[in-house]
């Protein structure tokens, strides 16, 4: 006799819930893409008068003077790159060292828990607190350093803001790096030790090659965090609208000049130029994000 399938209302409910869940997920994805496109279109539309007025000169000029309506983004682009790259030079070795120490050498116990708590605490401190600390503690130290080597003692400048940024981004890179290192299979680490390798050799030849994509993702996340930081940088960079000659000179970044001058901008062209700076920052971070994903994907495949 042919068996007849019995009707089960629970199966129908499960399929209904799955269909609703998939629809919600697709809707969330569509909303996010729509918001991103709307944001780009809005910024592009608001910055179009600046693009039409100045063209390529906006990226190559050296002067930003709202009084005489002379606008160019080159000083701020260079200031942003200088502070971001210098902060990465300072932060990345410390962050990777901290990740190796807490993820390989001390990955359990009270000390590991204390390090993890302190790192998470540093990541949660508001940027304005870092700015105040830099203004009252770090600036006098840098000023004394500048006096000792015979240069103008500004105190504020690229070096000061880079140190603040480095302190701010270390927790992000260290936290991601620690999590990736702890996910390296114990069999690989124990095999290396069993073959007579020292802990340093295991880290150098086993742990780091296995975790390189995760460490790179932490560095890229830190880069994105540093390039868009506003408040802390604004408080210690000096807010000078010219191309800096050294790391001790005051400067400005794309985000800091927007924060400083947007409230005072009344001329429509002035506002459009500030939005144009925001467009540069938006496009730059987007490109970095896509390049970072491509590099991480390639390294993960070749691992």
pLDDT digits (tens, 9 = 90+) for 233-292: 989 998 888 888 889 999 999 988 998 888 888 888 999 999 999 999 888 888 877 776
Residue 16 is predicted with a pLDDT of 79
DSSP character at residue 237: S
Between helix 139-148 and helix 158-182 the angle, nearest 10°, is: 120
HEC profile of 58-98: HHHCCCCECCCCECCCHHHHHHHHHHHHHHHHHHHHHHHHH
As a whole number of Å, the CA-based R_g of the chain is 25
Cβ burial of 51 (10 Å; 0-12, 13-18, 19+) is middle
pLDDT at 140: 92
Q: Euclidean distance between the first and final Cα of the chain, in Å?
A: 57
Distances (CA, A) of 201 to 95, 111, 178: 19, 23, 18
Helix pair angle (158-182, 110-124), 10° resolution = 140
The region of weakest confidence among 158-162, 179-183, 242-246, 289-293 is 289-293
Mean pLDDT for 120-142 is 88
Give the CA dihedral 94, 98, 104, 105, nearest 10 degrees: 110
CB-count exposure of residue 5 (10 Å: 0-12, 13-18, 19+): exposed
Query: Length of the chain in residues, anyone?
Result: 303
The model's confidence at residue 137, banded by pLDDT at 50, 70 and 90, is very high
Please check whether residue 66 lies inside any domain of the structure: yes
Helices H / strands E in the chain, number of each:
13, 0
- CB contact at 8 A, 189 and 206: yes
- Distance (Å, rounded) from C-alpha 225 to C-alpha 207? 26
What's the rounded mean pLDDT across residues 72-97?
91
Task: Classify residue 238 as left (phi > 0), alpha (psi -120 to 50) or beta.
Answer: left
- Banded model confidence at residue 7, pLDDT cuts 50, 70, 90: low
Question: Mean pLDDT over all residues of the chain?
Answer: 85
The arithmetic mean of pLDDT across residues 180-202, rounded, is 84
Q: What integer pLDDT is reported at residue 303 of this predicted model?
A: 55
Let me know if residue 235 belongs to a domain. yes
Q: What value does the mean pLDDT take over residues 186-210?
A: 84
d(CA 275, CA 47): 5
Residue 140 lies in a domain: yes
**Separation between Cα atoms, residue 73 and residue 62, nearest integer Å:** 8
pLDDT (mean) for 170-182: 85
195: pLDDT confidence band, cut at 50, 70 and 90?
A: confident
Categorize the per-residue pLDDT at 1 as very low, low, confident or very high, splitting at 50, 70 and 90. very low
Percent of the residues in the chain that have a pLDDT greater than 90, as a whole number: 26
Q: 117 is in which domain, residue-wise?
A: 57-302
- In a domain? residue 241: yes
pTM: 0.84
Distance, in Å, from the CA atom of 216 to the CA atom of 244, rounded to the nearest integer, reads 29
Instruction: Evaluate whether residue 107 is within a structural domain.
Output: yes
Asked if pLDDT for residue 299 goes beyond 90, the answer is no
Which pLDDT band, with edges at 50, 70 and 90, does 295 fall under? Answer: low
Q: Three-class SS of residue 106?
A: coil
Cα–Cα distance list, 35 to 46, 134, 275 (Å): 16, 35, 18
In a domain, 35, yes or no: no
Q: How far apart are CA 155 and CA 131, in angstroms?
A: 13
Of residues 98, 167, 96, the one with CA closest to residue 130: 167
Q: How many domains does the chain divide into?
A: 1
Q: How far is CA 14 from the centre of its chain?
A: 41
Examine residue 228 and state whether it is found in any structural domain, yes or no: yes
Q: Is residue 34 part of a domain?
A: no
What percentage of the chain exceeds 70 in pLDDT? 93
CATH number at residue 270: 1.10.3720.10
Are 237 and 131 in contact by the 8 Å Cβ rule? The answer is no
- Judged against a pLDDT cut of 60, whether residue 149 lies above it is answered with yes
């Amino acid at each position: 006799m042919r068996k007849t399938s019995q009707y089960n209302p629970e199966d129908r409910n499960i399929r209904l819930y799955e269909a609703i869940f998939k629809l919600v997920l697709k809707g969330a994805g569509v909303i996010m893409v729509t918001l991103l496109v709307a944001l780009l279109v809005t910024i592009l539309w608001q910055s179009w008068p600046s693009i039409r007025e100045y063209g390529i000169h906006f990226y190559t000029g050296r002067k930003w003077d709202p009084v005489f309506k002379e606008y160019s983004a080159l000083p701020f682009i260079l200031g942003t790159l200088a502070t971001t790259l210098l902060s990465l030079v300072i932060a990345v070795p410390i962050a990777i060292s901290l990740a190796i120490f807490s993820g390989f050498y001390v990955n359990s116990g009270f000390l590991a828990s204390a390090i993890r708590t302190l790192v998470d605490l540093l990541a949660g401190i508001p940027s304005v607190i870092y700015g105040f600390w830099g203004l009252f503690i770090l600036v006098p130290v840098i000023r004394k350093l500048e006096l000792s080597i015979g240069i103008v003692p500004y105190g504020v400048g690229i070096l000061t803001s880079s140190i603040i940024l480095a302190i701010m981004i270390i927790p992000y890179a260290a936290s991601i790096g620690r999590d990736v290192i702890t996910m390296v299979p114990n069999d690989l680490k124990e095999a290396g030790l069993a073959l007579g390798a020292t802990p340093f050799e295991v880290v150098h030849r086993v742990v780091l090659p296995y975790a390189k994509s995760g460490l790179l993702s932490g560095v890229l996340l830190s880069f994105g965090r540093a390039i868009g930081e506003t408040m802390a940088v604004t408080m210690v960079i000096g807010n000078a609208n010219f191309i800096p000659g050294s790391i001790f000179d005051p400067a400005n970044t794309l985000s800091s000049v927007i924060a400083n001058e947007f409230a005072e901008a009344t001329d429509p062209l002035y506002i459009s130029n500030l939005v144009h700076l925001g467009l540069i920052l938006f496009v730059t971070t987007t490109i970095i994000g896509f390049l970072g994903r491509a590099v991480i994907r390639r390294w993960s495949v070749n691992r």
